[in-house]
Amino acid sequence: MPELPEVETVREGLSRWVTNRRVEAVEVRHPRAIRRHLAGAEHFAAVLAGRTILAACRRGKYLWLPLDSGDAVIGHLGMSGQLLVRPAGTADEIHLRIRFTFDDGGPELRFVDQRTFGGLSVSEGGATLPSEIAHIARDPMDPEFSDAGFVAAVRRRRTEIKRALLDQTLISGVGNIYADEALWRARLHGARPTDALTGPAITRLLGHVRDVLGEALKQGGTSFDALYVNVNGESGYFDRELNVYGREGLPCRHCGALVRREAFMNRSSFSCPRCQPRPRTPAPG
């Protein structure tokens, strides 16, 4: 699943390539790609034709494109979605789902999604912030993110610290990979109870989250296969810098102990058994 750095990299590309361009036509090639737009494909295309894209914005892992009509296009990449900018006339991708053409005859915007878990929709009146994603917390790279508010909210929760990092109502944009990386840097096991952590410990962890996300942003995100790309189809390279995620059986770069993998919410968590010992008292279920 793409995380904040991957989605922010896409947003930056969209800002460069589609801002202040007027949509000429929209072609929906697969109904699942607009399944959240309940009015259907014809309505989706009709309300976008002739509209100018004013900006490219992000909240957590969601993107939105404000329009001059006051509406907005919301996008979520899902597991394999890509928003690509391609010269007009370029051969269609195998999994092309939606095509935007513009009245300047320039590059098209294409939504490509192999697994069709992502999608686009139109939010009426959602140019400033679509109501559909207003419940999602700000991310730690947002200048309006409240560190003190996050620390207090985490300490009130009776859960595990990794689950708190993945809770989009507390903090957005942090997924499995970067949570593991930040926890390794903080030398905290993901199962540590949140109500047992001190304020300074959570603040330090938040600093590591920011460091990991910032470093990944510089690299364009993490790519393990061809699915995670920017609008130009280029992969990120932060996977070469990962310290713990995906390194089961390899030496910890802190102490040399072998990295372990544990089951976590139908996924995997990676940690060092020496630097990140499991808590003796589990968090409340």
**Mean pLDDT computed over 106-134:** 95
Q: In this predicted structure, which of 13-17, 49-53, 125-129, 250-254 has the lowest mean pLDDT?
A: 13-17
Dist. CA 83–CA 126, nearest whole Å: 20
Among residues 272, 32, 6, the alpha carbon closest in space to that of 139 is found at 6
* Confidence at residue 195, expressed as pLDDT on a 0 to 100 scale: 93
Tokens standing for residue 57: 């914005």
- Chain-wide mean pLDDT for the chain? 91
Query: Residue 211 phi/psi, 5° resolution?
Result: -60, -45
Dist. CA 219–CA 202, nearest whole Å: 26
Active site residue 262: no
In a domain, 75, yes or no: yes
Active site residue 3: yes
In a domain, 86, yes or no: yes
Active site residue 2: yes
The answer on 254 and 205 residing in a single domain is: yes
State which residues form the domain around 46: 4-133
Tens digits of residue pLDDT in 5-30: 888 888 999 999 999 999 999 999 99
Active site residue 273: no
* Confidence at residue 220, expressed as pLDDT on a 0 to 100 scale: 62
Q: Which position among 61, 86, 110, 192 bears the catalytic label?
A: 61
The answer on 69 and 36 residing in a single domain is: yes
Dist. CA 13–CA 99, nearest whole Å: 17
In a domain, 280, yes or no: no
Q: 53: domain CATH number?
A: 3.20.190.10
How many domains is the chain partitioned into structurally? 2
Give the start-end residues of each E strand in 118-254.
119-123
Q: Which position among 156, 267, 274, 278 bears the catalytic label?
A: 267
* Confidence at residue 184, expressed as pLDDT on a 0 to 100 scale: 98
* Residue 95 labeled ligand binder: yes
Judge whether residue 205 has pLDDT over 90. Answer: yes
Say if strands 96-102 and 108-113 run parallel, antiparallel, or are unpaired. Answer: antiparallel
Dist. CA 52–CA 103, nearest whole Å: 10
Q: Which position among 3, 8, 160, 181 bears the catalytic label?
A: 3
* Residue 35 labeled ligand binder: no
Q: Identify the domain boundary among 75, 102, 133.
A: 133
Q: Which residue has the tokens 């507390």?
A: 170
* Confidence at residue 215, expressed as pLDDT on a 0 to 100 scale: 87
Q: Angle, to 10 degrees, between the axis of helix 199-219 and the axis of helix 4-18?
A: 50
Dist. CA 122–CA 67, nearest whole Å: 10
The answer on 170 and 96 residing in a single domain is: no
Judge whether residue 240 has pLDDT over 70. Answer: no
Dist. CA 242–CA 245, nearest whole Å: 6
Tokens standing for residue 185: 């840097």
Using 50, 70 and 90 to split pLDDT, how confident is the model at 227?
A: very low
Judge whether residue 229 has pLDDT over 60. Answer: no
Instruction: Please state the three-class secondary structure of 157-188 as a single string.
Output: CCCEHHHHHCCCCCCCCCCHHHHHHHHHHHCC
* Residue 115 labeled ligand binder: yes
